[in-house]
A and B are shown apart, each in its own frame.
Chain A
Amino acid sequence: DAGVTQSPTHLIKTRGQQVTLRCSPISGHKSVSWYQQVLGQGPQFIFQYYEKEERGRGNFPDRFSARQFPNYSSELNVNALLLGDSALYLCASQTGIADTQYFGPGTRLTVL
């Protein structure tokens, strides 16, 4: 079975631009979560979606938004990019809201 997939793999943007990251969960998984990992630190929770509804939001500004589609895939959008948004963005999926989370390979975003 395919694991969690994310696209693109790498992305380079400039300050002030907007970016959209995509995630496809494991087949049968209905929950998707997004995490940001800055170099040298552990991942930080951004959002969780379950059955297309937001179920949790971490301590991130409103420039960060997300949504989940009927096929359970998800997009993370970041507006007005800052240098500090440079990070590895990880997507995780799980069957239900309290089950083991499985992570995708991540999208590495560089903001210049």
Chain B
Amino acid sequence: GIQVEQSPPDLILQEGANSTLRCNFSDSVNNLQWFHQNPWGQLINLFYIPSGTKQNGRLSATTVATERYSLLYISSSQTTDSGVYFCAVVTSGSRLTFGEGTQLTVNP
């Protein structure tokens, strides 16, 4: 099956810093989503982005499907951005295959 690799596994930032999270996938995908999992376990949709670039406030994402990677940018980070960020892809049907996540900690 498809492999999804996220980097870095852990990231510690000071409030106000910018960061880039990366997601590599091993095969062509029909769909790619980025999620933020808060400390209570809720998965929050950030982007549905099988290709191209999208922006939502301080967050933006870019997927280059031909090169099989996606990037999530967080600018001017805040303590509330802390949590685990997951990339998930769909190859056929609609089952999501998740990466192992990036644990982000933003310190005040």
Contacts and interface: CB of A to CB of B under 8 A. Distances in A.
A90 interface: yes
Chain A residues touching B, majority SS: strand
A100 B42 contact: no
Contacts, number: 62
Interface residues of B, number: 24
A88 B30 contact: no
B93 A101 contact: no
Nearest to B92: A56
Nearest to A100: B48
Interface residues of A, number: 27
Contacts of A97: 93-94
Nearest to A98: B94
A108 B42 CA distance: 11
11 contacts: A33-B94, A41-B100, A42-B86, A42-B88, A42-B99, A97-B94, A100-B48, A101-B94, A101-B96, A103-B42, A103-B45
